[in-house]
Amino acid sequence: MLTTHRAISSGSKRINPYKIICSPCSRRSFTQRLVRVNDIVLLKPETNPRAVPTLSKPLKLGDSLVFRDHRKVKADDVIGKPYRSVVAGGRRALFRIYEPTLGQYCDNAPRIVTPIYSSDASLIVSLLDLNFAAVPSSQSETLIETEKFRPNRPLNEPVGSQDEDDLKPESTDVLEKDELLEETKELPREPTELTDAEIFEDWDSVEQNNERLEIFEAGTGAGSLTLHLARAIHGANTRAPPIPRLPKTKGKVTPDDDIYRYGGKFGERNEKMTDLYNEWRSQRRAVIHSLDADEHHSRHAQRTVRNYRHGVYFPHIDFHVGSIHDYLSKRLEETKGVFLDHAILDIPGIQDEMEIVGKCIKPDGRLITWCPSITQHMKCLEIIKGKKLPFVLDRVLELGSQLSTGGREWEVRSVKPRALIKAEKKAKAEEMEREDRSKTAFAVDEWLTKISSKEEDEVTSEDVETSEPESVTVQASTGEASDLNDMSGWEMICRPKVGDRITGGGFVGVWKKMDMNV
């Protein structure tokens, strides 16, 4: 009986581990975060730690979370519970509630294209070496004002400010100016020489570059790399106002408009919030421009970014749809100069877009190219040398989650991209249609000439039917021969085999733009 009671007691504790037993035992020295509505949680089976975790949708009251084995957990049982608590599911299963990290969210989020996995995305962000000045505060601005009146200054600097009007107290901020003037009365009237330590100290106080940081990403895809980039620049911008309730986009989206700003009309209640949000967007100190050629992919990535932590990184990203050349060409006309600090290309045919991207990147900026094959980087090198583009290859890294140290088998084969195959099929179909039309017109003209010349009394339909298969056969044979001899459009796959199903990996090229004027 004791064993049975002990089992029942332990089972009840696992189902409800935070049930109050006695007041001293229920006291905790920390505040527990509770699951709220619209939160996304990660549920892991309590009995099988190796099982694949399940990422929920934004939690809504009355919904159910369905697992791969068709077990269900009610959202009402999850909402309001603290993280790391246990919830009961179907078939007497127990699940522990976790708050997903950025890597867990990107790797387990719903997808329509293959994402860049979190480990690879983190490495790509680190290769950019992003550095930016922090958001200025009121204390830093006050300190800059007081630094103007320090006695330790170079001999060629005046004692006070160069503008005498700055020393006069203003009506808007009288107290701070009065305090500064009182400090200046005690300062010596003659400049003093600086020591070596003071000179180095002045070097450290040089103002940093406060220009806008812009990163261009071509190939939004699933939005995994976009989220990692947004988290990296999150500290460069001030806190965003609440995101207004945006209407659903209707119709096609042009490459010049942001997806989430294009579409229907806003309600009256959202007009003020929208104005504040757009004003904040115009004052951002760091922006990510993410472009994709497929509108459906871009919409899905927008939803993925918007759902993570209630859209905390969503305001730092501008989503665009269209071609790279059209978007960058228009931006070049508007800015009349380089405007991108860094760029990332994750698209097929990277070598075709390096010229227009090179015109937009600032000197010493980095270009990251993501390719599944090493031969694509070889083509990029050929294009750079042939067109004399201002890029130098810094390094090429092989990424993969199943790398081993005992040697690897490489896969070498020639393939044609699917997009190229579809384009060739479409072109062949149009060409055959034109040939059929010309062949029909030629047969009609020939028949009319035979009738007019009266060389033959009648033209049987059997002759026409027997002549057509022969021409088709000859055409097919010549087409097969041309396909065998035509090697244009073929790509060489040259990469190590990592298994039947590739769960990650590829080749990342890091390019630096040179300053041609130096």
DSSP codes, 463-478: HHHHHHHHHHHHHHHH
In a shared domain, residues 196 and 243:
no
Q: Which of these three, 48, 70, 100, is where a domain ends?
A: 100
Enclosing domain of residue 55: 2-100
DSSP-assigned letter for residue 59: P
How confident is residue 309, by pLDDT bands cut at 50, 70 and 90? very high
In a shared domain, residues 217 and 316:
yes
- pLDDT tens sequence across 6-42: 544 555 554 454 444 444 444 554 567 899 999 999 9
In a shared domain, residues 200 and 232:
no
In a shared domain, residues 160 and 199:
yes
For residue 23, tell me if it sits in a domain.
Answer: yes
Does residue 17 or residue 447 have the better pLDDT?
Answer: 447
Share of the chain above pLDDT 90, in %: 37
For residue 122, pLDDT over 60 is answered with: yes
* Tally of domains within the chain: 3
- pLDDT tens sequence across 35-51: 999 999 999 988 887 88
For residue 504, pLDDT over 90 is answered with: no
User: How many other C-beta atoms can be found within 10 angstroms of the C-beta atom of residue 227?
Assistant: 27
Here the tokens at position 327 are: 């978007």
Q: Which of these three, 185, 204, 223, is where a domain ends?
A: 204
User: How many other C-beta atoms can be found within 10 angstroms of the C-beta atom of residue 340?
Assistant: 22
For residue 326, pLDDT over 90 is answered with: yes
Highest mean pLDDT of the ranges 97-111, 385-399, 488-502: 97-111
In a shared domain, residues 160 and 289:
no
For residue 198, pLDDT over 80 is answered with: no
DSSP for 82-141?
BTT-EEE-GGG-EEEEE---HHHHHHHS--SSPPPPHHHHHHHHHHH----PPPP-HHHH
3-state class of 216 per DSSP?
A: strand
What is the distance, to the nearest Å, from the Cα of residue 392 to the centroid of all Cα atoms in its chain? 24
Q: What is the pLDDT of residue 475?
A: 40
Query: pTM of the entire structure?
Result: 0.68
Tokens 């369905």 belong to which residue?
Answer: 66
For residue 114, tell me if it sits in a domain.
Answer: no
For residue 320, tell me if it sits in a domain.
Answer: yes
How confident is residue 283, by pLDDT bands cut at 50, 70 and 90? very high
In a shared domain, residues 165 and 52:
no
Distance CA 188, CA 218 (A): 58
Rounded to 5°, the CA angle 476-477-482 comes to: 95
The answer to whether the CB of 369 falls within 8 A of the CB of 350 is yes
Q: What is the pLDDT of residue 189?
A: 53
Task: Compute the CA torsion angle 280, 283, 288, 292 (nearest 10 deg).
Answer: 70
Distance CA 226, CA 302 (A): 10
For residue 108, tell me if it sits in a domain.
Answer: no
Q: Which of these three, 47, 80, 100, is where a domain ends?
A: 100
Q: What is the pLDDT of residue 141?
A: 66
In a shared domain, residues 246 and 345:
yes
Backbone angles phi, psi at 406, to 5 degrees: -95, 25
For residue 250, pLDDT over 70 is answered with: no
User: How many other C-beta atoms can be found within 10 angstroms of the C-beta atom of residue 208?
Assistant: 9
The answer to whether the CB of 380 falls within 8 A of the CB of 394 is no
Question: Which CATH number does the domain housing residue 36 bear?
Answer: 3.10.330.20
The answer to whether the CB of 7 falls within 8 A of the CB of 13 is no
How confident is residue 188, by pLDDT bands cut at 50, 70 and 90? low
The answer to whether the CB of 508 falls within 8 A of the CB of 369 is yes
DSSP for 336-396?
SS--EEEEEE-SS-GGGTHHHHHTTEEEEEEEEEEESSHHHHHHHHHHHHHHT-SEEEEEE
Distance CA 158, CA 301 (A): 56
Q: What is the pLDDT of residue 175?
A: 47
The residues near 289 (Cβ < 8 Å, ≥ 6 apart) are: 214, 215, 216, 217, 318, 320, 327
| pLDDT, mean of residues 194-207 | 50
For residue 463, tell me if it sits in a domain.
Answer: no
* Element containing residue 144 per DSSP (H, E): helix 138-147
Q: What is the pLDDT of residue 161?
A: 46
In a shared domain, residues 240 and 354:
yes
Q: Which of 198-207, 336-345, 374-383, 501-510 has the lowest mean pLDDT?
A: 198-207
In a shared domain, residues 233 and 338:
yes
For residue 487, tell me if it sits in a domain.
Answer: no
Highest mean pLDDT of the ranges 68-82, 209-223, 341-355, 469-483: 341-355
3-state class of 459 per DSSP?
A: coil
Q: What is the pLDDT of residue 149?
A: 54
For residue 311, tell me if it sits in a domain.
Answer: yes
How confident is residue 159, by pLDDT bands cut at 50, 70 and 90? very low
Give the burial class of 268: count Cβ atoms within 10 A of its Cβ; 0-12 exposed, 13-18 middle, 19 or more buried.
exposed
In a shared domain, residues 378 and 307:
yes
Share of the chain above pLDDT 70, in %: 61
Residue 204: half-sphere exposure toward Cβ, Cα within 13 Å = 6
- pLDDT tens sequence across 125-158: 999 999 888 887 777 767 666 665 555 444 444 4
Q: What is the pLDDT of residue 225?
A: 96
Q: What average pLDDT does the chain have?
A: 75
For residue 375, pLDDT over 80 is answered with: yes
Helices (H) then strands (E): counts for the chain: 16, 15
Q: What is the pLDDT of residue 472?
A: 35
Q: What is the pLDDT of residue 501?
A: 46
Longest Cα–Cα distance of the chain, Å, equals 124
Does residue 248 or residue 96 have the better pLDDT?
Answer: 96
- pLDDT tens sequence across 417-430: 666 677 778 788 88
In a shared domain, residues 30 and 142:
no
For residue 20, tell me if it sits in a domain.
Answer: yes
How confident is residue 480, by pLDDT bands cut at 50, 70 and 90? very low
How confident is residue 416, by pLDDT bands cut at 50, 70 and 90? low
In a shared domain, residues 226 and 329:
yes
For residue 262, pLDDT over 90 is answered with: no
